[in-house]
């Protein structure tokens, strides 16, 4: 009877499977114990088949997703693309967004909409972009101000690393250290010597606590071991005006803002704050030639929402880098005091991480607090 029962439950199985061969051995043995072993083998074989089926479905799902992603990237963009700018119209980020947007429109035939959302040191616009769908239709111009904001504000509703995927570094913008003509120095070394002889007497101006010029001066003070008195202003032009007038002795300025005063012989340039000499003023030495490791630059990059398909990021990167390499865009960027770059998403991510770490260090050294006025 037991042998007969074993025959009743003997299943059909393929001859090539190792699991099936083990099952055949159990089911062909007969007897009550053979029947029990056969039944256990049957259950094992069923799970084996279910696993194979599940793996095949996963494989098919992945293949379908990859095929769909490829088709989406090939047709992207099929509607207007928005570039969020976190500063006011007419500022550097706004102008750069429009330059890049124009080139993308020429390449794709799709409208690129520049969406200016200024406020809260760039946090309002960044929060808006961070909530967008990760489909490549919302981009953002990320700048050095976002790296500074991440260091200044204890809590933000976005994270530049977590919430965004880099596309390309568009350009960097070096700052220049200038002094008024009455200041009896012509080099960075001479300025340090003068400052050490008059601790706290030399005054520097900036566009406000926490801005790049402010941090540039504070980093200079720390590395040089000197003390300046900070005089905050509203806007970037007022410190230059007062440096010319003698109310303050020095300031750090973006190249376009101070170039008219330099060409007019109204101020004296001592050095550039970038790690290497700039093509915008190749005759100027770097401050780092006197103070090793000194660097303070502005920068502009294009980022997309985190989770944007890699194929779309690569397509964006290709067009943006191609645009940056055109003579027209290189000339326009140079006129803004920016040096064109163009980089891969991986290179851009590494750059942003490094800059954020530098800003955290600069803010910690300066003791800067958010300017909420």
Query: Are 316 and 169 in the same domain?
Result: yes
The per-residue pLDDT of the chain, averaged, comes to: 87
Which pair of tokens denotes residue 165?
């995927």
pLDDT in tens, 279-297: 888 999 999 999 998 999 9
46, 74, 102 - which closes a domain: 74
25, 47, 74 - which closes a domain: 74
Predicted confidence band at 7 (pLDDT cuts at 50, 70, 90)? very low
Query: Are 196 and 227 in the same domain?
Result: yes
Query: In angstroms, what CA-CA distances link 362 with 123, 233, 317?
Result: 20, 20, 30
Domain-located, residue 373: no
Domain-located, residue 249: yes
* Residue 9 confidence (pLDDT): 46
Share of the chain above pLDDT 70, in %: 82
Domain CATH for 360: 3.40.190.150
Domain-located, residue 200: yes
pLDDT in tens, 150-181: 998 888 999 999 999 999 999 999 999 999 99
| DSSP string covering 156-214 | -S--TTTSEEEEEEEEEEEEEEEEETTS--SSHHHHHHHHHHSTTTSEEEESSTTSHHH
DSSP annotation of 116: E
Q: Which of 337, 310, 346 is nearest to 76 (CA)?
A: 310
Which pair of tokens denotes residue 47?
């799970």
Query: Are 213 and 268 in the same domain?
Result: yes
Task: Mention every residue, 6+ apart, whose C-beta is less than 8 A from residue 129.
Answer: 84, 138, 139, 140, 158, 164, 303, 305
- pTM score over 0.95: no
Query: Are 117 and 266 in the same domain?
Result: no
- Is the pLDDT at 306 greater than 80? The verdict is yes
- Is the pLDDT at 59 greater than 80? The verdict is no
CB–CB of 198/227 below 8 Å?
A: no
* Residue 71 confidence (pLDDT): 55
CB–CB of 213/206 below 8 Å?
A: yes
Query: Are 183 and 218 in the same domain?
Result: yes
Query: Are 211 and 223 in the same domain?
Result: yes
Beta 164-180 vs 267-272: how paired, if at all? antiparallel
Mapped onto helix, strand or coil, the DSSP state of residue 288 is helix
The continuous run of DSSP H or E covering 38 comes out as helix 31-75
**CA dihedral of residues 290, 343, 212, 271 (deg, nearest 10):** 30
Which pair of tokens denotes residue 365?
């050294």
Q: Which of 119, 45, 118, 125 is nearest to 82 (CA)?
A: 125
Paired strand residues for 103: none
Domain-located, residue 372: no
74, 91, 112 - which closes a domain: 74
Domain-located, residue 285: yes
Query: Are 115 and 185 in the same domain?
Result: no
Rounded Cα gap, residues 69 and 73, in angstroms: 6
Query: Are 254 and 305 in the same domain?
Result: no
Query: Are 181 and 268 in the same domain?
Result: yes
CB–CB of 222/365 below 8 Å?
A: yes
Predicted confidence band at 50 (pLDDT cuts at 50, 70, 90)? confident
Domain-located, residue 240: yes
Query: In angstroms, what CA-CA distances link 344 with 318, 320, 321, 357?
Result: 9, 10, 8, 20
- Is the pLDDT at 22 greater than 80? The verdict is no
Domain-located, residue 294: no
- Determine the average pLDDT of the residues in 248-252: 97
Which residue range forms the structural domain that includes residue 332?
A: 79-173+299-366
Tally the domains of the chain. Answer: 3
Task: Mention every residue, 6+ apart, whose C-beta is less than 8 A from residue 269.
Answer: 176, 177, 178, 258, 262, 281, 284
Task: Tell the burial category of 362 from Cβ atoms under 10 Å away from its Cβ (0-12, 13-18, 19+).
Answer: buried
Domain CATH for 211: 3.40.190.10
Query: Are 159 and 178 in the same domain?
Result: no
Query: Are 190 and 282 in the same domain?
Result: yes
Domain-located, residue 69: yes
* Residue 346 confidence (pLDDT): 97
Query: Are 304 and 169 in the same domain?
Result: yes
């Amino acid at each position: 009877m037991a042998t007969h029962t074993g025959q009743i439950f003997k299943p059909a199985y393929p001859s090539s499977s190792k699991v099936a061969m083990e099952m055949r051995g159990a089911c062909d043995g007969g007897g009550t114990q053979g029947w029990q072993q056969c039944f256990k083998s049957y259950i094992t074989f069923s799970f084996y088949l279910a696993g194979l089926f599940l793996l095949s479905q996963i494989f098919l799902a992945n293949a379908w997703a990859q095929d769909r992603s490829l088709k989406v990237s090939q047709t992207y963009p099929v509607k207007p693309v928005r570039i969020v700018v976190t500063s006011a119209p007419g500022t550097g980020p706004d102008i750069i967004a429009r330059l890049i947007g124009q080139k993308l429109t020429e390449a794709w035939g799709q409208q690129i909409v520049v969406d200016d959302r200024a406020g809260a040191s760039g946090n309002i616009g960044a929060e808006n972009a961070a909530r967008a769908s990760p489909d490549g239709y919302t981009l953002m111009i990320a700048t050095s101000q976002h790296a500074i904001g991440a260091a200044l504000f204890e809590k933000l509703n976005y994270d530049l690393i977590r919430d965004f995927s880099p596309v390309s570094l568009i350009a960097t913008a070096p700052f220049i250290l200038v002094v008024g003509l009455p200041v009896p120095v012509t080099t960075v070394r001479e300025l340090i010597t003068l400052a050490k002889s008059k601790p706290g007497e030399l005054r520097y101006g900036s566009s406000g606590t926490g801005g790049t010029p402010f941090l540039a001066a504070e980093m200079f003070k720390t590395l040089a071991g000197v003390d300046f008195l900070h005089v905050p202003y509203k806007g970037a032009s007022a410190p230059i005006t007062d440096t010319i007038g003698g109310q303050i002795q020095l300031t750090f300025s973006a190249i376009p803002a101070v170039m008219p005063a330099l060409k007019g012989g109204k101020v004296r340039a001592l050095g550039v704050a970038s790690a290497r000499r700039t093509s915008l003023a190749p005759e100027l030495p770097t401050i780092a030639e006197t103070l090793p490791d000194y660097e303070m630059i502005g920068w502009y990059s294009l980022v997309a929402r985190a989770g944007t398909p890699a194929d779309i990021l690569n397509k964006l990167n290709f067009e943006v880098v191609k645009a940056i390499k055109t003579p027209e865009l290189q000339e326009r960027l140079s006129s803004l005091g920016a040096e064109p770059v163009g980089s891969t998403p991986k290179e851009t991510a590494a750059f942003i991480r490094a800059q954020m770490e530098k800003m955290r260090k600069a803010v910690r050294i300066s003791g800067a607090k958010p300017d909420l006025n």
